Amino acid sequence: MLVHAISTNAVYEFAEDVRVGLTHPGQKELPSKYFYDDVGSALFEVISRLPEYGLTRADERLLRRHSDEIVDRLAGPVAVAELGSGSGKKTRWLLQALAQRQRTFYYPVEISRSALAMCERELSDIDSISILGFEREYLDGLLEVAAYRKRGQRLFVLFLGSTIGNFDRAAAVGFLAQVRRILEPGDSLLLGTDLEKPSAQLLRAYDDELGVTAAFNLNLLARINRELGANFDLGQFVDVPKINHEARRVEMHLQSRRRQTVTIPAAEVDVEIVEEETIWTESSHKYLPEEIFRTALDAGFRCEAQWIDQQWPFAENLLIAE
Ligand SMILES: C[S@@+](CC[C@H](N)C(=O)[O-])C[C@H]1O[C@@H](n2cnc3c(N)ncnc32)[C@H](O)[C@@H]1O
């Protein structure tokens, strides 16, 4: 697979985002996109196989069952762009269905180079599919993909696995609207959304018995140590998932066991953390099926079809750009 690589400003931006997130008043935060270095991407693959984390399996069941129907609903020859493809494992079903009717270009857009490499290993055996990966942020990558569009070709964008849940609800609409602006009327977006479910089931999914999710969360501090020269003592932090009922989301936090000062040389900052204070690292918003129709409309799409997994409430939504 050819890969267009990311800019050299990445370390500077990482340091700046860390400095801003850990020094602004009130709740300390780190952007979840930094989970995904080589270690983080590998840990995410393990999480997706854990018995407690039914989300990926629900997404895959829906794609396995409905890919033919999804593809039948797409007009014209399409090129496929996937935002945050990860290993691309579930995408196989859609690409195989498309391969029945056309030769297809598949463009995974990823900030993680190792995820792009996994994606190529996973999907390159499918006949009639050419893969060109973009090591880019979602919208930068999609803009480049759109520039490859051939006359008469439609774009079919995939945003699977409920990664949309990492955005606050208003920001999710804003992000989808930005995606819409890059697309043309009649292009489509397949959006995965995790649905509301009982608190106990949700907490188990984000607090697995083996501690893989905790390791995934702590790896963010380990990455700051590795890449920014910081001195986080990982043993002094505990992974604490929380349910925020009002915002209808699961939040991942890292809680400090004691008062401590962490030095982050590349970000030119010393961070004071008090006992039991938390660093908020990720949100996973949960949706109601009917809410997705409104979200789609607000972003300039029409929700053409929705498929729901009953075993692990999860929805696959086919949105058409208006
Ligand atoms: C939660 S994982 C989901 C992976 C896959 N779509 C799935 O459903 O299993 C999110 C993926 O998006 C990528 N990612 C996160 N933030 C990104 C960004 N701003 N731009 C591009 N890729 C991003 C990560 O590297 C990761 O592989």
Q: What is the pLDDT of residues 153-193, one digit of tens each?
A: 999 999 999 999 999 999 999 999 999 999 999 999 999 99
Ligand 1 center from residue 56 Cα (angstroms): 13
Distance CA 79, CA 97 (A): 13
Quick one: how far is CA 259 from the chain centroid? 33
Which structure tokens are listed for 322?
Answer: 């208006």
Ligand 1 center from residue 84 Cα (angstroms): 3
Task: Establish whether residue 33 lines the binding site of ligand 1, counting it when its CB lies within 6 angstroms of any ligand atom.
Answer: yes
The predicted structure's pLDDT at residue 163:
98
Task: Establish whether residue 108 lines the binding site of ligand 1, counting it when its CB lies within 6 angstroms of any ligand atom.
Answer: no
Task: Establish whether residue 107 lines the binding site of ligand 1, counting it when its CB lies within 6 angstroms of any ligand atom.
Answer: no
| Contacts for 164 with CB less than 8 Å, ≥ 6 apart | 172, 175, 176, 191, 192, 193, 285
Residues 78-102 have a mean pLDDT of 97
Ligand 1 center from residue 85 Cα (angstroms): 6
β-pair partners for 309? 314
Residue 192 alpha carbon, nearest atom of ligand 1 = 8
Nearest CA to ligand 1 atom 10: 84
Task: Establish whether residue 19 lines the binding site of ligand 1, counting it when its CB lies within 6 angstroms of any ligand atom.
Answer: no
The predicted structure's pLDDT at residue 9:
81
Ligand 1 center from residue 245 Cα (angstroms): 25
Task: Establish whether residue 159 lines the binding site of ligand 1, counting it when its CB lies within 6 angstroms of any ligand atom.
Answer: no
Length in residues, the chain: 322
- Give the count of alpha carbons within 13 A of 281, CB side only: 26
Q: Is pLDDT of 8 > 70?
A: no
Ligand 1 center from residue 178 Cα (angstroms): 17
The predicted structure's pLDDT at residue 76:
87
Residue 48 alpha carbon, nearest atom of ligand 1 = 9
Task: Establish whether residue 165 lines the binding site of ligand 1, counting it when its CB lies within 6 angstroms of any ligand atom.
Answer: no
pLDDT confidence band for 56 (50 / 70 / 90): very high
Give how far Cα 263 sits from Cα of 13, 238, 256, 270, Å.
Answer: 18, 19, 15, 4
Identity of the residue numbered 316:
E
Under a CB-based contact definition with an 8 Å cutoff, are residues 127 and 120 in contact?
Answer: no
Residue 161 alpha carbon, nearest atom of ligand 1 = 8
Give the ranges where 51-148 is alpha helix by DSSP (H). 55-72, 91-99, 113-123, 138-147
Task: Establish whether residue 137 lines the binding site of ligand 1, counting it when its CB lies within 6 angstroms of any ligand atom.
Answer: yes
Task: Establish whether residue 85 lines the binding site of ligand 1, counting it when its CB lies within 6 angstroms of any ligand atom.
Answer: yes
Residue 84 alpha carbon, nearest atom of ligand 1 = 12
Residues 2-26 have a mean pLDDT of 84
Distance CA 307, CA 315 (A): 6
The fraction of the chain above a pLDDT of 70, given in percent, is 98
Nearest CA to ligand 1 atom 18: 137
CA angle 77, 102, 91 (to 5 degrees): 90
pLDDT confidence band for 5 (50 / 70 / 90): low
Nearest CA to ligand 1 atom 27: 86
